[in-house]
Structure 1
Amino acid sequence: MIIQKLMPNILFMHTVKRASLSEWTMKNTFDKARAAENTSREAIEYLERASGLSAVSTANFDGDMSFSSAFMLFTRLSLLITRRRPEIAVHCVLIHVMPHISEVKVSDISRVLVNQLVNPLILEGKIVQGRRVFSLMKQFLSWCAFQGLIDTSPLNDMSLNKVAGGAKPVPRERKLTDAEVWVFWNIWDYFNVCEGTKWAARLCLVAARRPDEVLRARKDEFNLQRDVWNQGTRNKSARQHALPLSPLMRKCVEELFEYGKGSQWLVPSNKKKGVDTPMSKVAIAQALRRILERPELMDLEPFTPRDLRRTARSYFPALGINQEVARKIMNHSLEGIDRVYDRHDYMDEMRDALDRFSAYIASIVEQQDLDEIDHKFKGDRLATELIRVNFS
C-alpha cells in the first residue's frame, strides 16, 4: 500500500532525473524553414513553443487539463517526434478545433463534441479537412488515454471510414495526351515566364518528380559526370533515392544550372535579390494556371504540375517498362516479399527506362506543330486552332 502511494512520486523523480540528461536532446522533427513554406505563422509559433518544452514540464500534468494545455503536450510528446510534417496537423487544429474547445476539459470531450467539429466541415464540402480533424482528435484522445488523462477514448470504436458516410476525396485521374504534352512543353516559350520556372516544370515531367522535389533540389545532388541525381531522403516517403539522368533530364538540369549561377539551389528564387533562397514551391503551379487561363488555351482541359508525374507513370507501361522498374523510378516500395528481400538498386534498368521515356517525349515535343500528334486516340487531333495560330 505504501509503495503504491509512493509510486507517482517515484516515477516523477525518475522522470526529472532522466530529464537532466535528455532535456536538450529530445527528438524533434520540426523544420522551421520547411514549415514556413507550408503553413501559417501561428502554426510555426505554436510549434516553436512546443519545441521549447522541457522534459520536466512534460511530466507535469493531471486529469483536469484543458484541451489547449493537453494538445500542447501531445504536440511535444507525439507530433514532434512521430510526424515528418507536424505543422500540417497543428495548422488544422488551430483553424478547426482550438477556437471551439480550447478551454474544454479533456475529460469532457465526447463523441458528440468531436462530431460537432467535423460535421460543419463535411456540410461545406471540406471532406479532407473533416477527415483530418477526426483523425487528429482520435489520435489525440488515444494518447490522452495512454497518458492516464482519461480512462478510455470516446472515439475508440469509431472508424475514419465512417466519416461523411464513408465518402472520400476522389483521386485525380488527369493525365496528358501526346498532343497536350506538346502544348505543355512549348507554351513556356510563348509567354513571359522566367527560365527557372520553365525548365523546372519540364523537369517535373521528364523525371516524373513532384514539383517540390525539383524546386527544393540543391546542385550538389547532381553528378553530371555520372549522370545521376542523388536525391537522398528528400522525398515524400523519406527513402534513399537516386535517379539516372536521361538526355532530356540532363538538358533541363544544365539549363537550370545556367539559370542559377552562383546559387546552391537548382532553382533559386528570382524575387529576393542578394539572398540565396529556392524558388517558391507554388511557382510552377501559379505560372501554369495563369497560362492555361489565357483565351487561346481555353479549349485545353486544365491540368496541374501534379498531373505531370501521373502522366509520366502512365507512359511507362506503354513503353514496355516493367512494374518493378517503374516503381523504383517513382520511389514507390516494391510489393509483397520483394519489399523485404529485393535490394537491387535497379540503376541500369532505370537508366534504360528513362532514356526510352526521354526519347519518346522528345519525339513529341520536337514536332513543328500539332498536325501529326495524336490526342485522345490514334488519329484524333487536339481541336484548338488558336493554339496552332499562336504556336506557328
Structure 2
Amino acid sequence: MGKLTDVEIRSWISSGVPGTKSDGDGLTFTMSAAQAKDRAASWVLRYRFGGKARELTLGRYPEITLKRARELATSARARIQEGVDVAREKQLQNVERATAKTLRELSADYIEKVFPRLAANTQKQRRRHIQKIIVPKLGTVLAKEVTPGDVVTLIEGVGKNSINVAELVFTALSEIFKHGLARHAVTTNPCAGISVAAICGKPEPRRQRLKLSEAELRAMFAELSTIGVQNALAVKILLATCVRLGELARAEWDHIDLEAQTWFVPDENSKTGKGFTIPLVPAVVDWLKELKELACGSRFVLPARQARRTVNLGGDAPFEQRALNAMLHKLCDRLDGKVRRFTPHDLRSSARSHLGALGVNILIAERCLNHSLGGLVAVYDQHDYLDERRSALAVWTDFLLACEADKAWRPTGDNVIPLRAEVAA
C-alpha cells in the first residue's frame, strides 16, 4: 500500500470520472457511475481465500479517509492470515443486525413496503389489526424470537371474542413474517403449520346477503322518508348505482359531472384500488342535485352532520358511515316485519340480484358492481361497457321508481337493454 495520495484522490473525485485505482496490496479506491454524481467513492479490499477471489467493502470516502482505509485494510489482512474470511464475517454481521428487529419494527417495515400494493380497505383493516392487536402483544419481542407458541397464544386470545377477527389477525401476522423472510429479517415463519380452526374451532357462519324482494322494496320506499332526506337519498343512490357505501361516503363533487351524467370513483376510494366511472341516469342526477343543495358548499356529496366530527377531522369531512346503518335499523323497526333487517351492503346485493332478474347479461351486471371478473376476461377485455351499463341501470332505476310510486312495472319496448350476445375472449 502507499501508491495513492490525498491530492490524487480529491482530484479524481472532482473529475467525476468512474473507475478504480489501486493503493497496493489489494486496497482499491472505486467510484461507480452513481457515486460519481454524488462525488463519493468506496474503499474495497480485494483478497483470495480458499483459492477464490473475495472483496470486503471497508467504507465510503470521504467518511473513511485514505489513512483510515489503510489501517482497516492492514487489520483485515491480519485476520485473513489467521484464517478468517472477513467478507463472509461482515456478511453474517449484517444478517445478524437485520434479524435484530423487534416485531414492532418489522411490522412498520411491512406497512411501509407492502401497504402501497394493497387495496385501501385492506390497508385500513390490516393496519388496525397490526397496531391494535399484534404490536401491543408481541411488538417488543425480537421478530426472530417469536415462536409458534406465541402465535397460538395470541390467536387463542383473539378467538375468544371473534374467530373471524382471529383469522384476519393471523393472516396479517403471517404476511408480516413472509415479508421478514424476503428481507432476511427472520429465518422462519412461526405461523407455518398453524391453523386458526385447530386453535379456535370453526368460525361463525357468515351472514347471508339479502335480496330485498319487490314487495320489500315497495314497503321500504313507503317509509323511507322517515329517516331524513339525506339518508333517504343516499339509500336510493346506493340502490340505483350499485356502489359500495364507502365509495358514496367518500365521494366529492369534483368526482361528479352532472352535465355529462358520470361519476368517477378514484383509485383511493375504490375497494379494488382501481378507479372506475359510473353512468348516472336522469333520476340519479336529480337526487344528486338535491344532495348538492343540502351539502351547503361542502366538497363532499354527503358531508358530516355533527360538529364534533368536523372538529375531530379538522374541518370539512364526509359523513359517518355507521350513521346510515343506524338509520336503517330504525327503519326496519318502524316497518315491523314487513322488510327483513338489511344493511347498506344488502342494497348492493339486492341490486345485483334484480339486475339478473331483469335479464341483464351477467358480465354487464358484474361490471355495474365493479366486480373483478378474473381469468382471461380480466386480462383481455378492457372495455368498460359504459353504454351497456347505462342502459341496464336505466331499466333498474325505472323499476325502483315504480316501486317508490307504488305503481305496477312491466317491461316495455323502452325497457329493452341493448346487450352484446357474447363476449369474445
TM-score between both structures, scaled by the size of structure 2: 0.67
> Is 1:251–2:286 an aligned residue pair?
yes
Would you tell me which structure has more strand in proportion to its own residues?
2
- Counterpart CA distance in 2 for 1:342 and 1:311 is 26
User: Would the alpha carbon gap of residues 162 and 325 (structure 1) be closer, same or farther in structure 2, given more than 3 Å must change?
Assistant: farther
SS in 2 for 1:138: helix
- Counterpart CA distance in 2 for 1:246 and 1:359 is 10
C-alpha displacement of 1:80: 5.3
User: Would the alpha carbon gap of residues 270 and 318 (structure 1) be closer, same or farther in structure 2, given more than 3 Å must change?
Assistant: same
Q: 2:220, 2:339 within 8 Å by CA — same for their partners in 1?
A: no
Q: 1:185, 1:202 within 8 Å by CA — same for their partners in 2?
A: no
Residue among 49, 56, 68 paired with 1:6: 56
- Counterpart CA distance in 1 for 2:54 and 2:325 is 61
Residue among 298, 301, 306 paired with 1:266: 301
Give the match for residue 224 of structure 1: 258
Residue among 161, 170, 194 paired with 2:206: 170
SS in 2 for 1:133: helix
- Counterpart CA distance in 1 for 2:374 and 2:105 is 42
Give the match for residue 327 of structure 2: 287
Give the match for residue 66 of structure 1: 102
Indicate the percent of aligned positions where both proteins have the same amino acid: 22
SS in 2 for 1:226: coil
CA RMSD of aligned residues (A): 3.1
> Is 1:206–2:206 an aligned residue pair?
no
Q: 1:247, 1:358 within 8 Å by CA — same for their partners in 2?
A: no
> Is 1:90–2:124 an aligned residue pair?
no
Q: 2:240, 2:284 within 8 Å by CA — same for their partners in 1?
A: yes
C-alpha displacement of 1:220: 2.4
Q: 2:233, 2:291 within 8 Å by CA — same for their partners in 1?
A: yes
- Counterpart CA distance in 2 for 1:135 and 1:243 is 33
Which of 1 and 2 has higher RCO (CA within 8 Å, sep 6+)?
A: 1
Give the match for residue 180 of structure 1: 216
Residue among 278, 285, 288 paired with 2:318: 278
User: Would the alpha carbon gap of residues 222 and 148 (structure 1) be closer, same or farther in structure 2, given more than 3 Å must change?
Assistant: closer
The CA deviation string for residues 222-260 of structure 1, in whole angstroms up to 9 with x for no partner, is 222222222233311122311221233223212212222
Unaligned runs of 5+ in 2: 1-47, 64-94, 410-425
> Is 1:136–2:176 an aligned residue pair?
no
Residue among 338, 341, 347 paired with 2:386: 347
- Please list, as runs of the form range in 1=range in 2, the aligned pairs for 1:1-392 lying within 5 A after superposition: 6=56, 61-79=97-115, 82=118, 84=120, 85-124=122-161, 126-158=162-194, 164-165=200-201, 167=203, 169-191=205-227, 193=228, 195-233=229-267, 234-272=269-307, 275-294=315-334, 297-298=336-337, 300-367=339-406
The CA deviation string for residues 273-326 of structure 1, in whole angstroms up to 9 with x for no partner, is 8943222222211221233234x5255421111100000000011101001111
Q: 1:211, 1:284 within 8 Å by CA — same for their partners in 2?
A: no
In the alignment, residue 185 of structure 1 is paired with which amino acid? F
The CA deviation string for residues 111-131 of structure 1, in whole angstroms up to 9 with x for no partner, is 22111111233233x122101
Give the match for residue 386 of structure 1: none
**Structure 1 stretch displaced more, 273-282 or 195-204:** 273-282
- State the structure with more CA Rg: 2
**Structure 1 stretch displaced more, 243-252 or 315-324:** 243-252
- Counterpart CA distance in 2 for 1:254 and 1:290 is 26
C-alpha displacement of 1:4: 6.3
Unaligned runs of 5+ in 1: 17-58, 374-392
- Counterpart CA distance in 2 for 1:292 and 1:360 is 22
C-alpha displacement of 1:73: 2.9
C-alpha displacement of 1:81: 5.8
Q: 2:303, 2:319 within 8 Å by CA — same for their partners in 1?
A: yes
- Counterpart CA distance in 2 for 1:314 and 1:227 is 24
Aligned residues: 320
Q: 1:216, 1:265 within 8 Å by CA — same for their partners in 2?
A: yes
- Counterpart CA distance in 2 for 1:166 and 1:284 is 31
- Counterpart CA distance in 2 for 1:242 and 1:232 is 9
C-alpha displacement of 1:203: 0.6
**Structure 1 stretch displaced more, 327-336 or 274-283:** 274-283
Q: 1:200, 1:215 within 8 Å by CA — same for their partners in 2?
A: no
User: Would the alpha carbon gap of residues 149 and 277 (structure 1) be closer, same or farther in structure 2, given more than 3 Å must change?
Assistant: closer
Q: 2:143, 2:186 within 8 Å by CA — same for their partners in 1?
A: yes
SS in 2 for 1:185: helix
User: Would the alpha carbon gap of residues 146 and 166 (structure 1) be closer, same or farther in structure 2, given more than 3 Å must change?
Assistant: farther
Q: 2:118, 2:273 within 8 Å by CA — same for their partners in 1?
A: no
C-alpha displacement of 1:157: 4.5
TM-score between both structures, scaled by the size of structure 1: 0.72
- Counterpart CA distance in 2 for 1:176 and 1:150 is 50
- Counterpart CA distance in 1 for 2:382 and 2:113 is 34
The CA deviation string for residues 117-158 of structure 1, in whole angstroms up to 9 with x for no partner, is 11233233x122101111111111122222223222233455
